Amino acid sequence: MIDKQKVDSFTQKLPTDSIKSIKPCKTLIKISPTRIFEGTLQLSFERAIKDNFSVDFTAFATYVTKNSLGGEYFSKQEFNSFSDIYGSYQPYTGEMMTGYGAVIQTRNYLLHRINPKYKAPFGLYASPYLMYRKITIFGMNYTNVYQDSAWVTKENEIKQNLDIGSAGVILGYSFPVFDVLSIDIHIGGVLRLSKYFRES
């Protein structure tokens, strides 16, 4: 005969029953603090559609100069533009960068199948990743031209338009902190394509 007390004790110790319930939540609004130091405000909105599925939309807004927040990061970047005079790409100094972009993810939360207490938007997830970003860079460079029987240093204004597209898959984990905050950690593989258009 099996001792009922021992069975109850064993059942209470099962890992799936010992997991603390997460406070129900359907919507998350997130910000990336690291992007701020690059001169970009990144806001995300995630909404749980099902217990194991959510949609995440992210928007980027970029404005940075050499003297603004993110200016140190911006000043360390190397920029090159095509020179008709030299017939090759020449370096220039970036003065300002602006832009915008968006990311869309459809997150499949994997732990809900193991334990129903794990519900979107928290837990381990896998998601496709699609991103588009448009950046405009303003800068200056200097060229020496022969004019009026003398060499003259000419100041040139540079404007470059950079389009960036990315697609891939990411794996991440989102967990709540103090019932009002959450931390999202993710890794993944992304194919990125970028192209300069309409240089002037």
Convert the pLDDT of each residue in 145-155 to its tens digit.
Answer: 777 778 878 88
Which tokens belong to 174?
């989102």
- For residue 36, the Cα-to-chain-centroid distance in whole angstroms is 11
Per-residue pLDDT band for 4 (boundaries 50, 70, 90) equals: very low
* Neighbour tally for 36: CB within 10 Å: 13
Reading the block at residue 26, the tokens are 């359907």
Check residue 178 and give its pLDDT: 79
Radius of gyration of the chain, Cα coordinates, nearest whole angstrom: 26
Q: Is the peptide bond before 121 cis (omega within 30 degrees of 0)?
A: yes
Better-scored residue on pLDDT, 150 or 192: 192
Q: What is the pLDDT of residues 66-75, one digit of tens each?
A: 889 888 889 8
95 pLDDT higher than 80: yes
pLDDT at 115: 87
* pLDDT bucket at 99, cuts 50 / 70 / 90: very high
Count of alpha carbons within 13 angstroms of residue 192, beta-carbon side: 9
- 126 pLDDT band (50/70/90 cuts)? very high
3-state secondary structure the chain: CCCHHHHHHHHHCCHHHHCCCCCCCCEEEEECHHHHCCCEEEEEEEEEEECCEEEEEEEEEEEEECCCCCHHHHHCCCEEEEECCCCEEEEEEEEEEEEEEEEEEEEEECHHHCCCCCCCCCEEEEEEEEEEEEEEEEEEEEEEEEECCEEEEEEEEEEEEEEEEEEEEEEEEEEEECCCEEEEEEEEEEEEEEEEECCC
Where residue 55 falls among pLDDT bands split at 50, 70, 90? very high
In degrees and rounded to multiples of 5, residue 141 shows phi and psi of -140, 175
User: Is residue 50's pLDDT more than 50?
Assistant: yes
Q: What is the pLDDT of residue 17?
A: 42
Comparison of pLDDT for 12 and 26, the residue scoring more: 26
Distance from C-alpha of 143 to C-alpha of 147, rounded to nearest angstrom: 12
Q: What is this structure's pTM? A: 0.76
Which carries the bigger pLDDT value, residue 84 or residue 109? 109
CA distance 77 to 60: 19
Separation between Cα atoms, residue 179 and residue 23, nearest integer Å: 7
